Amino acid sequence: MKNYSGFAGLVYTSLVAFLVYSSVYAFRKPFTVGDFEGLKFWNVPYQTLLIIAQVLGYMLSKFYGIRFISGLKRIGRWKTSAVLIGISWICLFFFALVPPPMGILLLFVNGFMLGFMWGIIFSYIEGRRGTDFVGTVMAISFIFAGGFTRTVARWVSLRWGVSDFWMPFATGLIFVLPLALFVFLLEKLPQPDEEDRLEKSVREPMNKADRRNFLRYFGTGLVAVAITYFILTVMRDIRDNYMSNIWDELGYRNDYSIFAKSETISAVIILLLLSMIVFIRRNFKALVISHAIIAAGLLIAGLASVLFINELISGAIWMQVTGIGLYLGYILFNCIFFERMIASFRIKGNIGFVIYLVDAFGYLGSVSIMIAKSFFPAEINWTVFYSNVVVVGTGIALAATVVSYFYFRKKFQQKNIVTSGEMGALGVNIAS
C-alpha cells in the first residue's frame, strides 16, 4: 500500500495502531477482574494494593517519559517495545509464582514498563493529515480494550478454571503473538510525507532547551490544561481500575460480557463524534472545537452522576453515559488536542513531551486518591465514592477548560505580532 494518505491507507494505519495498543492492554488490565480469594494486607484488599502498585509504576514512567519519549529517535522503536512488553509479561509470570504480597513489586514493574507504550506507538502516527482520525481510533482502545481484555480474562477464569494468580499471564499468552505481528506492521508504516509536514509541522525529538522554551511560552495555558487532564485522568482511572467492582455492586458479577458490551458501545459513539474533527483543516478552529467537546463531555458525566445519586437513572445507564462523557475529553486530549495545538503554533517538538507532562501529574492524582481511599477507608462502596468524585471533579474541570480556551485564543491572536526571537526559540514558523 503506497498511498497511506488516502482513505484505504488511513483505515489501515488506524487499524494497526488500534490493534497494537489494544493488545498492550492484555498485559495491563486483566488482573483487575480477580478478587484473589479475599486476601488482605495491612487491612487493604490485595487487589487494591496491586492496582495501586501498578498505577504508581505507570505514573513514574510518565515522569521519566517527559524526557525519554520527547527525545525518542525513530530508529529502534520496535526493539524498545519488545523489551518493555517482554519484561511486563515476565512480571506476570513471576506474579503467579511468588507468594503474596510479593506480587505488589511485580505489578509496580509491570506498570512502569507499560507506561511508555502509548508514547512510542503515537510517535509512529503523529504529524500526519489523518492523525486526528488515526489517533482517535487508537485512543478508542482505552475503552474497547479495557472491556475486551477483561472479558477475555474473566472467560479464562470461568471457562478454563485458571486461578486469579495465573489468569493475567494466561491472558497475555493469548495476545503475545498477535501483538508481535501488529508491532511489525506498525514499524512498516511510512514516514509523514511533504504535505503532512506542510500542514501539521515537522515532529522532532526535543532536548532540554526545547522543553524549557516550550514551558516558558505556554506555561499558563498548560497549567489550565493540566488541571482538566488531571481530573479527567483521576475519574477515568478510578472507573477503569475498579470497573469490575462497580459492575459487581450494580448486580452484574456473573455477566462477564458486560465489560465488552458497555465499553464497545462507548467506543463506537466516541469514534463517530471525534472522527468528525479530521474534516476540519484549520488547526486552531479544531483546537477551539476541542475545548467545546471537552466541556460538553464533562457536563454529560456530571449530570448523569447527579441523576444517579438521586436515583433518577439506573446504574447501568449511569456507567454508560458517564463513561462516554469522561472519555470524550480524555481521548480527545490523547489524540487531537495536543496534535492541533502543536500544528496551530508550528511548534518545534512532538506530542510525546506534552502528553507525558500532563499524564504524569494526572496519574499522581489518581494514585493519591487510591491510596487515601484504601488506607483511610470511609464506610462507602466504590459506586457511591466514584459517583460523588465525578460530580465534584467535572465542576472543577469545566472551570479550567474555560480558562484554557481564553488563554489559547489570546495566544493565537498574538502569534504574528510577538518578537521573532521569542518564536524562534521555539522553532515556530511565524508565517503559518
Does residue 15 surpass a pLDDT of 80? yes
Does residue 276 surpass a pLDDT of 60? yes
Strand partners, 44: 41
> Per-residue confidence at 9, pLDDT binned at 50, 70, 90?
confident
Does residue 102 surpass a pLDDT of 90? yes
Flag the least confident range among 83-97, 200-214, 322-336: 200-214
> Per-residue confidence at 172, pLDDT binned at 50, 70, 90?
very high
Does residue 397 surpass a pLDDT of 90? yes
- Check residue 215 and give its pLDDT: 86
- Check residue 179 and give its pLDDT: 94
Buried b (16+ CB within 10 A) or exposed e, 86-107: eebbbbbeebbeeebbebbebb
How confident is the prediction for the chain on average, in pLDDT? 84
- Check residue 136 and give its pLDDT: 82
- Check residue 223 and give its pLDDT: 92
- Check residue 335 and give its pLDDT: 76
Q: What is the fold of 7-426?
A: Growth Hormone; Chain: A; (1.20.1250)
Does residue 416 surpass a pLDDT of 70? no
Does residue 430 surpass a pLDDT of 60? no
| For the chain, domain boundaries | 7-426
Cβ proximity of 156 and 171 under 8 Å: yes
CB count, 10 Å around CB of 282? 12
Does residue 98 surpass a pLDDT of 90? yes
Does residue 421 surpass a pLDDT of 50? no
What are 28's three cell numbers? 495491563
Q: Which residue has the cell 491510596?
A: 371
Which of the given ranges, 27-41, 368-382, 395-409, 417-431, has the highest pLDDT on average? 395-409
Strand partners, 45: 40
pLDDT in tens, 189-198: 888 777 766 6
Residue 65: name the closest of 363, 359, 340 by CA: 359
Mean pLDDT, residues 310-329 taken together = 91
Which of the given ranges, 68-72, 120-124, 262-266, has the highest pLDDT on average? 120-124
- CA separation, residue 262 to residues 306, 319, 334 (Å): 20, 8, 21
Does residue 97 surpass a pLDDT of 70? yes
- Check residue 255 and give its pLDDT: 74
**Strand (E) or helix (H) holding 296:** helix 283-309
Which has more pLDDT, 299 or 47? 299
How much is the pTM?
0.74
Residue 363: name the closest of 226, 180, 230, 220 by CA: 230
Residue 213: CA count within 13 A, CB half-sphere: 16
pLDDT in tens, 104-119: 999 999 999 999 998 8
- Check residue 399 and give its pLDDT: 96
- Check residue 256 and give its pLDDT: 66
- Check residue 379 and give its pLDDT: 59
Mean pLDDT, residues 298-322 taken together = 93
Does residue 127 surpass a pLDDT of 80? no
- Check residue 198 and give its pLDDT: 67
- CA separation, residue 378 to residues 46, 242, 394 (Å): 18, 16, 22
- Check residue 277 and give its pLDDT: 83
- Check residue 378 and give its pLDDT: 57
SS3 state of residue 40: strand
> Per-residue confidence at 5, pLDDT binned at 50, 70, 90?
low
Share of the chain above pLDDT 90, in %: 36
DSSP 8-state class, residue 74: S
pLDDT in tens, 57-67: 998 999 998 88
- Check residue 422 and give its pLDDT: 44
SS3 state of residue 190: coil
Share of the chain above pLDDT 70, in %: 90
pLDDT in tens, 286-296: 999 999 999 99
